[in-house]
Amino acid sequence: MRKPIIALVGRPNVGKSTLFNRLVGERKAVISEVPGTTRDRIEGDSDWNGIEFTVIDTGGIEVYEPKGSRDPDAFSEGSAEFVPQIRSQALLAVEEADIIVLVTDIQQGITAADEDVAAILQKTDKPVLVAANKADELQHVDEAYEFYALGLGDVFAVSAIHGIGTGDLLDRIVELIPEAPEFNAEEDEHLKIAIVGRPNVGKSSLLNKLLGTERAIVSDYAGTTRDALDTDIVWNGETITLIDTAGIRRRGKIIPGIEKFSVIRALNAIRRCDVALLLLDATDGVTAQDAHIAGMIVEEMKSVIIIVNKWDLVEKDNDTMNDYLESIRESLNFISYAPILFISALTGQRIHQVLETAMMVYDERMRRIPTSELNRIVGEAIQRHAPATNDPRGLKVYYVTQVRTDPPTFLFHVNDAKLVHFTYERYLENQIRAQYPIVGTPIRLSFRTRQREPK
């Protein structure tokens, strides 16, 4: 059973992201003084008095069109054109929420935009609270009462930056959660897929195609998605979390501030996923930055699928796909175990293969090889090619066991771990993969020095 959902909504630049970070206890949403920074919904878990719930931060609801109502220059770069979509995202969050918190600016008082947003929220039968934010000084608290004129629920004077009043707000939130469902953490053990790649390779388009709905904002403007977005779906009876991320630029091209934090969150998305979908742009080929991102995935020991997007834009002949495969294998030879799919997120070409392959790779990530099989494989490998060493003792492998999955990790008990050369380690890995490919997943080999027990 899912956790109750609390949606934070309101016009731009009233402090929703700051309040979100306060409620979830971490700096998860991108914060900026520039209106329009938060474009998509961001979700985070929180708990209060033993009650767990999910908080959704949204882009600002802008009731008016940008022209005539707000100077486009007042928005962050490229944000003004997204105002209708930001509003759509916020309204979608309202549909999913159990409780809605309208965030306003107590220092500005009620604005026409607040009234219009309130008019939208009055049409819902869900509980609505008002968080009059930026009550940073004592004299601001009394000014919160005017927000009762919006005709919504209880009003709370809060300062998201300083934490003032947030406890009272949370008390009321948990009171409004009817028979809050228990959340079993074990139920959260399911496949998590991160969609990663350079800016503008089609990550959000792929997410939306997989969901069959406009869950993330899609645009040809590079850098549209700034935050990592989590969406749970059920596929063939299995729960899967899809994580859309901001594009990862080359380090020298990352702009300090909002974009820098977005890249950090993309890296965090890689860390918490099981399988990463590395999107490439078929019209660009494999770039140095694609290889750099692949390296990040390897460093985190995550499974990976290479997705060649925009395949519909490539002129083809009988050799095109084979030539492309050879080019990818050569450029990304350090993830030779990764399956490669050629798709078009725009047309839906081969989209059905993405989740099928991800689930297969996830199963491989959880694969366990019997100890007897491992020792047979390794024993035969050593007979075919004994380890070369200048040490007169020679490397001796006593036995090997698999000590964990996620990813598969194998512990070799040897006479001296220092005698294991990295080339021989690679040889042993290849011999294991020859019979158990463990598709799409890195494997870890660990060597422990052990004295043979006397007979």
- What CATH number does residue 145 fall under? 3.40.50.300
Is there a domain that residue 75 lies in? yes
182: in domain: no
- Quote the pLDDT of residue 295: 92
pLDDT lower than 50: segments of the chain: 30-39, 64-78, 180-187, 221, 225-226, 254-261, 454-455
| 282 and 407 part of one domain | no
Using DSSP's 3-state secondary structure scheme, residue 345 falls into coil
Of 335, 365, 395, the position where a domain reaches its end is 365
The answer to whether the CB of 58 falls within 8 A of the CB of 21 is no
**Final residue before a domain boundary, out of 176, 208, 226:** 176
Tell me, yes or no, whether 210 and 147 share the same domain.
Answer: no
Q: Answer yes or no: is 181 within a domain.
A: no
pLDDT digits (tens, 9 = 90+) for 3-16: 788 989 888 888 88
- Are residues 431 and 323 part of one domain? no
Does residue 196 form part of some domain?
yes
Q: What distance in Å separates the CA atoms of residue 339 and residue 305, rounded to the nearest whole number?
A: 5
Do residue 253 and residue 324 come from a single domain?
yes
Asked if 332 and 407 sit in the same domain, the reply is: no
Looking at the fold, whether 401 and 416 belong to one and the same domain comes out as yes
pLDDT of the residue at 347: 92
Residue 258 has a pLDDT of: 41
Q: How many domains does the chain have?
A: 3
Let me know whether 106 and 61 are in one domain: yes
The pLDDT value recorded for residue 24 is 86
In this structure, the answer to whether residues 196 and 323 fall within a common structural domain is yes
Residue 349 bridge partners (DSSP): 344
Q: How far apart are CA 100 and CA 118, in angstroms?
A: 11
444 is a domain residue: yes
User: Do residues 124 and 253 share a domain?
Assistant: no
Partners of 55 in beta bridges: 6, 44
454 domain-assigned: no
User: What CATH number does residue 399 fall under?
Assistant: 3.30.300.20
183 located within any domain: no
In this structure, the number of other CB atoms found within 10 A of the CB of residue 303 comes to 28
Is 235 within a domain? yes
Domain, as residue range, for 407: 371-449
- d(C-alpha 320, C-alpha 324), whole Å: 6
Q: Report CA-CA distances (Å) from 180 to 171, 296, 383.
A: 13, 39, 61
Dihedral pair phi/psi, residue 332, rounded to 5°: -120, 45
Q: Is 253 exposed, middle or buried (0-12, 13-18, 19+ CB in 10 A)?
A: exposed
Same-domain check for residues 361 and 376: no
User: Among 365, 382, 416, where does a domain finish?
Assistant: 365
Residue 233 CA to residue 239 CA, distance in Å, equals: 6
- 139 and 41, same structural domain? yes
Distance CA 332, CA 335 (A): 6
Structure tokens at 154: 């209880």
3-state secondary structure of 46: strand
Q: What is the pLDDT of residue 78?
A: 47
Structure confidence by residue, pLDDT tens digits, 233-268: 888 888 899 988 876 766 555 444 444 445 656 777
Strand partners, 402: 410
Q: How many residues comprise the chain?
A: 455
If asked whether residues 167 and 197 sit together in one domain, one would say no
Beta bridge partners of 6: 55, 99
| Residues 413, 422: Cα–Cα separation, whole Å | 16
Could you tell me the pTM of the whole model? 0.64
The pLDDT value recorded for residue 355 is 95
